[in-house]
Amino acid sequence: MPREAKPARLWLRPARKGKGGKGGRPAVWVILDAGRQISTGCGAGDRGKAEKAHAEYMIGKATKAVVRQSNRRPAHEVTIAEVLARYMTVKADKVARPDELAQHVERLLEFWGERTCDDINSVTCDEYVRSRTGVPWKSSRPEKTGNKPRLTTSAGARRDLEDLRAALNRAVKDKILAEFVSVELPDENGERDVWLTVEEVEEMCRIARETTEVQTRHRGAAKGQVLATKKRPLAHVERFIRVGVQTGTRATAVCEASFEREEGRPWVDLDNELFFRRPPGAKDKANKRYPPAPLAPQLVEEMRGWKDSGARYVVERDGKPVDCRKGYERVVEILALDRHVVRHTLRHTAATWMMQDGVDLAEAAGYLGMTVETLTRRYAHHHPAHQKTAAATLAKRMNRANASPTKRREKAGNDEDEEEPEAA
């Protein structure tokens, strides 16, 4: 019986020496597939790029299969790579962050390889979660930062499997897959209850505003010394923090916002003091709403100052809009809080502050772009009036019971039974 063919996989082909010890070829990542070696063009130190090339190869191979096979087929005849390829083709131009979708697909392909949809079950899904949980993030650089690498949680694996489930459902709708395939998801993590105080937010703004860049001198009398420069590499992060915490807007909308109306970009109308968080012509997603938000006068004055100084975008660096994720993480690192704080924490903070100040639930939910149910479930416990009526009702019932005639007679009888103390 012939051996089962292995799926296409990455292999680091060792360096080869030339004749007489001269020349030769360096080590390179190649894709092994059915006895063939397809070079990725990536050297030994480019594992990340090699994995991307491998994913593109698998998707391209699966896409050809989609073209050849258009009739409904049972799960054991449809590869997972083919299903993911179809999903990428349909969704690449429709999702907000196509790069993240590509990363999810890459990770799924690394594990599932050329397995078929029939191999998806509770056992293999659980194996995938275990293979992802506890793995350091690829963006972690502990050897450079000196910090412990951030580890992937089961929530990351769940997000990947959600895309796999969506891809399978798309294959059924597109008449590629003849049967429904269930994907077992791990339990969701508990709701985050992390928020910042006013003092912590102001300290973050100060750090972003005052942190200067340091450089090592390589020549002159100061050679080898690490000296501060006049550059302030985190200054743009202060704007992000101030807008994020004062509007409760999601990070992506803040970082992409412009001071002028542009197609496909959120924008701030300073004349009417409104933040149009949804780009012109775009539609809200089912689970994410971006209603226009009125801006407080103080924030409007700040923004006018930014615009008058030449800024075209709310958060920019060198005249271009910037995703301040790394800069924000650097500010949090310097602040050294005892809890995990991310960019989305600013939105949590805005919601928490509104609840602490007694803002009406419906008004707060409308401003933040979330349902009243979501706001109540996640933040209402911070509201000063939260469930106070319920607590007061129970206490009132208990007080009435203690004051009933039966209780009073029992109390009086107990008092008569007590013996008087003897005279000294």
Please check whether residues 231 and 168 belong to one and the same domain: no
Question: What pLDDT does residue 273 have?
Answer: 96
Rounded to 5 degrees, what are φ and ψ at 316? -140, 160
Question: What pLDDT does residue 408 have?
Answer: 55
Question: What pLDDT does residue 328 have?
Answer: 95
Please check whether residues 208 and 147 belong to one and the same domain: no
Percent of the chain with pLDDT over 90: 45
Question: What pLDDT does residue 122 have?
Answer: 94
Which pLDDT tens digit goes with each residue over 233-276? Answer: 999 999 999 999 999 999 999 999 999 999 889 999 999 999 99
Please check whether residues 347 and 250 belong to one and the same domain: yes
pLDDT of 402 over the 90 cut: no
Nearest partner of 66 among 38, 48, 87, judged by Cα: 87
Q: Is residue 403 part of a domain?
A: no
What is the pTM for the complete model shown?
0.65
And the tokens for 292? 């226009």
Question: What pLDDT does residue 253 have?
Answer: 94
- The model's confidence at residue 162, banded by pLDDT at 50, 70 and 90, is very high
Give the residue-averaged pLDDT of 370-393: 87
Please check whether residues 162 and 281 belong to one and the same domain: no
Q: Choose between 136 and 376: higher pLDDT.
A: 376
Give the residue-averaged pLDDT of 184-201: 84
Which pLDDT tens digit goes with each residue over 292-328? Answer: 999 999 999 999 999 999 999 999 999 999 999 999 9
pLDDT of 331 over the 50 cut: yes
- The model's confidence at residue 225, banded by pLDDT at 50, 70 and 90, is confident
Give the residue-averaged pLDDT of 325-336: 92
Q: How many domains are contained in the chain?
A: 2
pLDDT of 407 over the 60 cut: no
Specify the range with the lowest mean pLDDT, choosing from 226-235, 305-314, 412-421: 412-421
Please check whether residues 169 and 210 belong to one and the same domain: no
Question: What pLDDT does residue 357 have?
Answer: 92
Specify the range with the lowest mean pLDDT, choosing from 127-141, 233-247, 350-364: 127-141
Determine the residue type at 353.
Answer: W
Question: What pLDDT does residue 65 have?
Answer: 53
Question: What pLDDT does residue 416 have?
Answer: 56
pLDDT of 181 over the 80 cut: yes
Please check whether residues 69 and 112 belong to one and the same domain: yes
Q: Is residue 107 part of a domain?
A: yes
Q: Is residue 420 part of a domain?
A: no
- The model's confidence at residue 424, banded by pLDDT at 50, 70 and 90, is very low
Q: Choose between 235 and 103: higher pLDDT.
A: 235
Q: How far apart are CA 302 and CA 309, in angstroms?
A: 11
Give the residue-averaged pLDDT of 394-420: 66
Question: What pLDDT does residue 96 have?
Answer: 65
Q: Is residue 23 part of a domain?
A: no
Distances 363 to 68, 197, 369, 370 between C-alpha atoms, Å: 54, 22, 10, 10
Please check whether residues 84 and 153 belong to one and the same domain: yes
Rounded to 5 degrees, what are φ and ψ at 102? -65, -40
Nearest partner of 154 among 127, 117, 192, 177, judged by Cα: 127
Query: What CATH number corresponds to the domain at position 312?
Result: 1.10.443.10
Question: What pLDDT does residue 1 have?
Answer: 44
Please check whether residues 143 and 216 belong to one and the same domain: no
Q: Is residue 28 part of a domain?
A: no
Q: Is residue 7 part of a domain?
A: no
Please check whether residues 337 and 375 belong to one and the same domain: yes
Please check whether residues 160 and 115 belong to one and the same domain: yes
Q: Choose between 99 and 190: higher pLDDT.
A: 99
pLDDT of 198 over the 80 cut: yes
Owning domain of residue 122: 47-173
pLDDT of 182 over the 90 cut: yes
Give the residue-averaged pLDDT of 277-294: 80
pLDDT of 205 over the 90 cut: yes
And the tokens for 127? 């194996």
Give the residue-averaged pLDDT of 121-142: 84
And the tokens for 56? 């593109």
Specify the range with the lowest mean pLDDT, choosing from 15-19, 329-333, 385-389, 410-414: 410-414
pLDDT of 153 over the 80 cut: yes
Please check whether residues 237 and 327 belong to one and the same domain: yes
Q: Are 275 and 295 in contact (CB under 8 A)?
A: yes
Please check whether residues 226 and 315 belong to one and the same domain: yes
Q: Is residue 399 part of a domain?
A: no
pLDDT of 40 over the 60 cut: yes
- The model's confidence at residue 24, banded by pLDDT at 50, 70 and 90, is confident
Q: Calculate helix-pair angle for 98-112, 80-91, nearest 10 degrees.
A: 180
Question: What pLDDT does residue 149 have?
Answer: 72
Q: Is residue 254 part of a domain?
A: yes
